[in-house]
Amino acid sequence: MNELLYPAAVVLLGYVVLGITGFGSALVIVPLLAWRWPLAEVVPLVLLLDVPASLLLEAAAASGRNDEARALLEGHYERAPSLDLLEALVALDRTSDDAQRPGRERYALHLAHEPSLVAATQWLSGERLAHENFHPAIQRALDQAAKPLMRYRCAACGFEARQHFWQCPGCQSWDSYPPRRIEEL
């Protein structure tokens, strides 16, 4: 029973106390849970609580458990592919010294199963084109077209934001932001 008091207190602190402000709760929850619990238990818990995968990367890097985080994120990505998990996996691949890691190829693999302008834009940003002088203009146009699709939208009032909120800044409704970006809805 005592082993459950710590995570319960951390989640309560993160969601109730800091969630009132609309941000900051995940910044507290992830490192504190990763400090006392095995990462294999923290990742599923915080993903259930809709904590963005990028914060899991920070906790894994701080604790030196990137390989463990990669395996857990890949497992979650296999079950429920999302842009947040995809971006986290690509970021982990970039930090790895292993040349066998897919890196940007993950975007192309994602596109084979889930058509996504955001993933296509990310993949294209690192490609070398035959007419390289046109690449910056094309990339800018794609980035501009994909930018609205990378937001989160409140299900209650339609308020859009670049980050995920537990309480909508527009209508003050709690837990009204689906954990998926607009393009994935």
Neighbours of 50 (CB within 10 A): 17
Return the structure tokens found at 103: 């890196």
**One pLDDT digit (tens) per residue for the chain, 185 residues:** 566 677 777 766 666 555 544 445 556 677 777 777 777 777 666 665 555 677 777 777 877 888 888 888 888 888 878 888 888 888 888 887 776 777 778 888 888 888 888 888 888 888 777 777 877 888 888 888 888 888 888 889 999 988 888 788 899 888 887 878 888 87
pLDDT of residue 22: 47
**Packing angle, helices 25-36 and 2-12, rounded to 10:** 160
What are phi and psi for residue 69, nearest 5 degrees?
-65, -40
Question: Mapping DSSP to helix (H, G, I), strand (E, B) and coil, where does residue 150 land?
Answer: helix
- CA separation, residue 33 to residues 30, 38, 108 (Å): 5, 8, 33
What does the block give as tokens for 80? 């429920």
User: Is residue 11 within 8 Å of residue 18, measured between CB atoms?
Assistant: no
pTM given for the model: 0.64
Token pair for residue 88? Answer: 């986290």
**Under 8 Å between Cβ of 89 and 73:** yes
Dihedral of the alpha carbons of 91, 65, 38, 23, in degrees to the nearest 10: -40
Is residue 65 within 8 Å of residue 57, measured between CB atoms? no
What pLDDT is recorded for position 159?
A: 92
In this predicted structure, what is the pLDDT of residue 171? 92
